Structure formats: C-alpha cells, structure tokens
Chain A
C-alpha cells in the first residue's frame, strides 16, 4: 500500500488514510483525493479500456471532461457504471473496477479489435453488416454491443433515493474558480441572494491546481479564505458538488447536487442526489476552460494526459503518474507544467514545443520546433518519439507526457438555447456568442479572460453589471496576469491512428475518411464517426475534429461551425431526473373516506385515475372474482347494495347565469330544470364528439351541483373554466370543485328506500311521491348531519346517491351496513357496477371513447336545436349524420354459452371478414348474472334499425368468432319501471 508516486504538499489530508480497491487490489489514499489521483499516487496509470478497440487507457484529464478513466463504482445494487475516476471523490472502502475488458484489464482478449482496426473504421456499422438484413438484429448487433461497450448495470433496483428541489436567487454563479469567487464576494458583500455552484467538492477551480499567488498568498489559500467569508454570509448559498446541467428558458437552471456520492452509503433517509430547479434573476457563467489536446500517433497510452491536468495532479493532489515526465505543447501554458513538476522534484525529461521560438529553461531541456510523432509502451507510456526541428528523430524516455494545445472556453451552457459560439481569432477558440440565454453573462476563462487577474476582475465586474450595483468598484487582489497567446496546433502531420475522441475511439484517419466519403457537414461528421457522441460529449475532442475537417474542406473553423450543445452538461443519473416519483409514488394516490372500511371488508382495489376503488368484496369461500361480482349484482337487484361513488367529479356551479352556463356546456337543456330535480347531461366537444356525461342537480335557482365521470373530472372542470372565462366572460357564474368534500354512496335495489328511511331524518319524506325519480335535495341524516340526496340510478334499480361531508363517510358506510343487515345489504364494487350498467345499457368511458357522437350513443335527439351549446353546430356535420352512422346496440350470443369480448368487430353472418365489410365494434362486455349469459354493448352501422339481426363477432386478438344477435341495449327493465318504483 505504498503511494509510490505521492509528492509533497497538495490539498490532501495526509493525517487520514483511506483504503480502497481497484479491480480487487487494495490501495491507500487520502481525503481530498479523487479515485484517479489516488490511483496515480499508487503508480496505477492503466484505468480502462477503450470503447471500440479496447486500447489500454489512463486518465486524460483531472476533471469532468474525462473521456478515458471510466470505471464502475461500488457493488451490488449500488453498482454504478461509466463513472469518471477523475471526479469520483475517494472514500474509505470505495470499491472500483475497470470496465469493458475481459478477462482482465491488463490482458483484454477483446483488444484483438485493435488489430482489426482497418476493418472497424468510421461507418463500419453501415458498410460491413449490410447483408443479410435479418442478421443485423439477431447476430451482428448483439456481438457488436458485447464487444463495444462500457460498464454493466447491476440489474437491480436502485436502493437510493433522490430528491428534487427549488431555489431562487438574484444571481446564480456557475463555477467557483477565481472569476466565480470574485463575483460571489462582490454580490454577497452587496447583500444580494447568491447561489454559487461548482461541480467540484473543493471550490477554487484552477486556483487549487496552480501555484499562482493571489493577494500575496497561495491561490488555493485565497480560495479557502474566500469560501470561508462567503459561507458566513446568510445571503450566499454555497453549493459544492453541484453540476449545473442545463440552462432552460427564462432563467431556470437544472443542477444536480451530489449529497451522498462521497460516502459509501447515504445516511438513512437522505437522498443520494438532489436535482435542483434554480430560478435565477441573473446568471453568471464562470465555467472556465478545458485544455485541448494535440493529436499524434498513439497519443492515447496511459500516462499521456493534458498538461494542465498533469500539474493539477502534482499541485492539488500531490501525485504524479510517473517519476519522469515530458511535456508536448504549442504554447506557454505547457511550460507551467514543466516548471511546477520540476519544482515538485519530478524529473522533466524534455519540453517538446512546436514553436521554433519557444522559451528555454535552465531546469530542463526544451526542444524547439519539435513534435511528438509516436509513442511506445503497451500498458503505459515508456518513450515518446520526437521529430526535432532539424528533422532528426529522438527518443525521450518518460512515463507521462503532458500535452497542451491551448484552452477552449467551456461555452456549453451558453448554447443550451440554440446560441452559437463565436470564433475568436486571437484566442484561436470559440467563445460565447452574441445570443446568450437571456439573463446570462460570462466571466473568467469562459469569456476568454485566461489570466488569474483578468478572471478575478471580470468576475467582479460582471457581478456588478448583472446586478446593477453602483458605487466604487472593489479592489481586485494582485494576481498573475500573463498575456494570453494560443498558437493553434491540432495534429501532427502524417498521423493516422491519432486519437481525437478517445472515448468513442475516433481518430484523425476517421475524420479524413468521413470527409472523403462526403460526410462533411459538422453534423454528418459527428454522426458518421461518432465524434463527440460519448458520455463526455466531446469536451476534449470536438475542436480537433472541427479543425481537421476545416483544413480538409479548405474552410476556416468558424465556417465549419460547431454542433449544437444540449443539456445535460455532464452525464446525469436517471434517478435524479425521476426524484421521488418512483414505484407507488409515481403519482399521488386518492383514497375515498370509506377506504379503511373497504380494506377491513377485504376489498380488492383497482386504480381509476389516481383513485383506488373497491373492485369487489370477496367473501370467504369465493375463489373466483366472478363469484363475488355475480353475488353483488344479484344481491343488489334482489334487495339492496351500496357502492362508493365518491370518486365522481363534483363541481359546484353557482350564479344568476348558472342555468345559462349549463345550457352552453351541455347539449341538452337545463334552463327549465326545476329546483329539487336532477337531469342527465351530455357534454360535447366543440367538434361534436361526446366529451363526458353526468348529472346536474339543481339545489336552488342559482345553484347546481354537476357530476362528471371519475376519469374526466379534471378535464371537465378545465373545459368549464374555458367556457366561463373565454366564451362567457360577462356571465355571472362561479365554479369550484367539491369532489373531495363529500363522501357519496349509491344505495341501489328494491329495498334502497327502506334502508335510507332508517338513516334519513324523519322530517324528510323520501317516499316515491315526495321524492320521485330524479329528485334531489339537502337533507339531514342520523340525527342532524347535513347531507345531500339524489334519486338517480346507474344500476337500473330503484336507487339513490347520498352524500355527507367526507369526514363522516366512513361512519355513514358503517351505519348503512348495520342498518342494512335487515335487508342483507351488500357492498358492491366497480365490477358489479359495470355489469349492472351494461345490463341497463348505460354508456360509460368505453362508449364515450373520443370518437362517438350523441347520435352514435343513441342520444341524437338530446342535442337541443332550440339553443346553442358547445358542439351543437359541428355535430350537425353531414359526415357525422350519415344513414349508416354507428348507433349503440346490445349484443347477446346466439349460443348462450359463447363469450363476447370488447374490442371485437361485427361482420355479416356470412361474407368476408375484412375492414371493408366492417359493420361495427364491441365496446363493453360482461357476464350478466341476471340473464345468465354474456352480454355486450357496441356500435353498429344503422344499429337502431337492425335489432333481431344475427351478426358475427370476430376478434382476431382473442381468437374469437361467435354469432351474436343484435338487441336493445337495455337488457334489464327496458321500460324503466324499477327506477321509478
């Protein structure tokens, strides 16, 4: 457990040792380490295998742009594939594994792909596996997927929880490097509400990775001091370990905060991550810049990394990939790496600088005008081959090579609303363009302000500008202010297997092939080669590809343009997007007041919308649901049954124009409905199709209670608000939902009145004379409790619906059961309800299915011609009123033993069975315990005139062909005597 490559200094806590494993082997690290830094300190450079060719790979970077060091973390259900070792915070007991290799990382049999590389170039999927077509899905694709893959899923449910949250601020600062800290200090000291978010667990950005001083102290110390000052401000919220993943409309930002990823298991009850929706008045993007590599032959060996990452490992994490390093650079920035590593006691073998006038050093050799043309080392870098300015080749021995081709501003978030970055010639890089998301400004390196001083100053200035702060500008601390020069240098002439996109194994040769084969637009290049399509979204590779394509096409880089950046900025777990909405919590559950009672009765529940409704109430000895349902139907028709219908939507409609309003929303008339009466109402959409049905009870001249179907309650309320506010803005109508306020029970059956007479207070006469069919009224029950009674029937029996305030629903149901014992009262569920309404021929959701009109439903004459209502005009369209229009009918099997299934189609008894000869279809079917055979409801062409005809019911899905007789839909009590009894 020796940390062979651990250097002095840095921001790791050497007083604490953390133990972790990688591919089963145990190592030691310290708090402050990432998995990558700890592995490097332990002399482990090889961390993964590449996606396609299975090339050995080590970390390219020290941050979230990492394409290579992609590992699996943890085990069991918490196993997480495709995690960047460069951002994974080390904790004690961390178990990490390399992925995409077999049998081991050091010996990967699939590396044979690398030998077959000539065959696996860009577009190989399209070219190679063309024939035979059937082979693709069954043979080629599975093999390719197995070979070219990343990590593996645990195949278990994620045991962790995720929260979502909402935060508001005056200024959201994204990135806590020098610009972000400076901005936060400026805004925080001015008393503004600031959120400072940074993806790192340690704020400070490059200040932690560099040796520059700020205000005469180490930059990292200045960062620590600034963070301390900010954390003492109540108006500033620091959000480390938080990645802002997307910039959405109107100042809304998505951010993922990793609460528990740096511990082995989240604390009990704590989320693993929180997805924040941040509402920002202003946003300051201080996302910094990402170093860009140079492409050269075999530039992907473990040990070859970005130069600034190499020095970040040395300076921040006190780790070096090897005791002897070299640098390959096209600009001065690379020399910083050489200086810093030399100062840390690491041997710098050479600085290879593409520029002929590169600065020299006393401490190490600088090869001016030189280029790295090849590298060696099977599982890790051993030598680089250098072509010197004079053309002579030279071998430089080194275990690590820092590569610097300059820096690219991290413009991604500026482009999330289709903004395009602008090319800056002086920087030779894309910078945020003119069309930033409204409310966003940039500061620091993302805006091309590369020096520390410029970053500090632009951060403070931008905060002042964004917030409109007046007064004297704050003093900017003294800091490094080197001029920025970036000499573009994208790739070494003559290289082919030089990696641009290391994560998706895209080489310079692939880009050339793409150009040669005509895939020249940047979007085509991306899709043909998969450049930039890996989980790193091409943060280190896109620019190289664009530059090469530009050169091949004879265009400038800005002419070639960039692909569009989309959220998320870095990979985001699906769990964070789902939040708490998983499993049973996917949507809220609605329970009726008698739910507890129904559970006690052993009810089987069914989801109807968000409601849980009792489907049936099995009794001891009943082994099949049909036994329970048939019993419930028979008992109700024989004596009395009770059904919870609380779930029906209830809307209170009041106002002097309430009746006029209902006349508008229902196709039938309500103006003349007497107080104390209820009427069935059919609501049409404006296009003449039926929307919903229900009843409206007139409790007073200016007061109605409207019921809707359970499923459509929300939609109908919305529709009524539309009519009220948009079509009848001057009418005196007030609406409010009262669905949940009342517990409502259907009491049905010949003994229903007798049962209710034991409940309803004596002063209310509910005899047939005093309270006839369709009567309604306010009453009291059980000695004074206010209640509502409606004499309406869905079952076709003498029936009432009784409503009491929801809190008394449970007690009323129990009361109905005890008082009903004398009549063998039976609670019934939605299945019996459904069977009885089919027996009665009442339309329900199956019939009001979004395609049917009043005419189809056999209610054509209900559409009033004497008044205008929603849908009345368009329901008159000729196309909806043809002679052979579908009309609802009843169906009974010719052979009583035959089944009827919903969804089947009706065909002539003999003749072809095809769409051209289709006569109609079945919408509802049930076993009728009353009749002793199955029955159905359906729509049949000219159905009203075809009763008695025998047709064939054909259902290929259920493999059913039976003869059915067309009958009236009213199977039970067609004259309606029972409901009026």
Chain B
C-alpha cells in the first residue's frame, strides 16, 4: 500500500458537511467514477454489458440507474458515467474496462468531479436559484447536465424535493460549494 494521504475536493482530509436551514450539503469523496462510451458499431454489445453490470437496462438519455455495486448516469449519446463505492472500487476504470473489453472506451473519472448530496425538505427551492432544471418534471432517476454559476454539473434526482446529487468539476469544488451554500442561505 502506498502512503499518500488523499485530500477531498474541498481540500480537507474529511468530507465537508453544511446544514443551513432545512437543507444539508454533504461532500462525498468516496465515490469512484469511470466513463463508458460505446465503440462505434458496438452499441448493442455495450448495452448488454451495461445491463449485466447494472442489473437493469442502461439509462436512457437524461436518466440514471441506481444499483449495487454499480450505478450509471447517461452523460451523452452512447456514453455513461459509472459510479461505485471508492473503498472497493478505487480501480474502477480497470474493473469496468475488463468487463467491457473492446466494446467500450473506459476512462477514469473519479477525481475529475466533486460530488455532493443536497438533502432536506425544500431542496427544490435551493435548486431553482442554481440551475434551470424543470423541477416540475424532475423525478427520481432523472439526471441532467446543467450549468450552476457557470460550472457544468451533473444533477441527479434521487428523491424529488428531498435529495439530489450534484457532481461538478473538481477544481472548482470551492466555487460550487460556495454557490450552493449561498443559495441554501438565501432560502433558509
């Protein structure tokens, strides 16, 4: 085992948690991520592998599938973001790649993102100050890339108006954290 001590996207050694009013923002450093993109002509084979891995059909455009140990978000045509627990899947890219063989291109994405869960009653009131998602139609399993204060983020609905996961560019974790907590304060 190596002796390098990781830091979270916000620069700490432990995850940041902020509760303001009725909502809580929790930094999630323990998520491993890898992107999967079907090779040209291999879309069907790739879909089958995804089904194997997720125990469900690969999520369609704008959707997410939650599973154990793997979950997936659609992030583009024939492209998905796979997530799993970091402790057991730090080498997620290698794990996923070995499953998919040559039918997909797999890229490690774990540290490209900062992940937050935004939870509590009235999450929508925070979200509507941050991004243009149509919250009237944002149901569990919906996932979309959207812009939060000029940062391209992936926002996934886990429980409407109660729990969403926000993934943003890791280098701007501080800016994203500031944007979300500011909105939480505005509506608190």
Contacts and interface: CB of A to CB of B under 8 A. Distances in A.
Contacts of A807: 6-9, 29, 110-111
Interface string A725-748: 000001111101111111000000
Interface in A140-177: 163-169
A335 B155 CA distance: 59
Contacts of B132: 166, 277, 279
A741 B8 CA distance: 12
Contact of A654 (B1, B105, B151): B105
A740 B2 contact: no
Given A274-B129, A277-B132, A732-B41, A269 B188 contact: yes
B37 A736 contact: yes
Given A269-B186, A742-B111, A783-B2, A168 B134 contact: yes
Contacts of A812: 4
Interface string A707-732: 00000000000000000000000111
A580 B179 contact: yes
A734 B129 contact: no
A123 interface: no
Interface stretch (A84-92, A100-108, A591-599, A794-802): A591-599
B112 A740 contact: yes
Interface in A579-610: 580-581, 585, 587-593, 595-596, 610
A588 B128 contact: no
Interface stretch (B61-69, B115-123, B166-174): B166-174
A846 to B, nearest CB: 25
Interface residues of A, number: 64
Contacts of A781: 2
Contacts of A805: 108, 110-111
A223 to B, nearest CB: 27
A271 B182 CA distance: 10
Contact of B107 (A652, A657, A740, A806): A652
A815 B2 CA distance: 12
B149 A588 contact: yes
Interface string A444-487: 00000000000000000000000000000000000000000000
A758 interface: no
Interface in B83-105: 91, 102, 105
B108 to A, nearest CB: 6
Interface string B141-169: 00000000111000000000000000001
Interface string B34-70: 0101011100000000000000000000000000000
Contacts of B41: 732
B28 interface: no
A592 B6 CA distance: 14
A593 B10 CA distance: 9
B105 A734 contact: yes
Nearest to A193: B136
Given A738-B108, A783-B1, A784-B2, A655 B40 contact: yes
- The prevalent SS among residues of A at the interface is mixed
Interface string A778-792: 001111111000000
A741 B4 contact: no
Contact of B7 (A164, A588, A593, A736): A593
Given A654-B37, A742-B111, A279 B134 contact: yes
B5 to A, nearest CB: 5
Nearest to A735: B37
A711 to B, nearest CB: 15
Residue with the greatest number of chain B CB neighbours at <10 A, chosen from A592, A646, A786: A786
Nearest to B127: A166
A516 interface: no
A124 interface: no
B4 A785 contact: yes
Contacts of B186: 163, 269-271
Interface in A256-288: 269-271, 274, 277, 279
Given A730-B40, A807-B7, A590 B169 contact: yes
Interface of A: 163-169, 193, 269-271, 274, 277, 279, 580-581, 585, 587-593, 595-596, 610-611, 646, 652, 654-657, 702-703, 730-734, 736-742, 780-786, 804-808, 810-812, 815
23 contacts: A166-B133, A271-B186, A587-B150, A588-B175, A590-B169, A590-B175, A593-B7, A596-B7, A611-B171, A654-B107, A656-B39, A702-B102, A734-B79, A739-B112, A742-B111, A782-B2, A783-B1, A784-B1, A804-B4, A806-B9, A806-B112, A807-B6, A807-B8
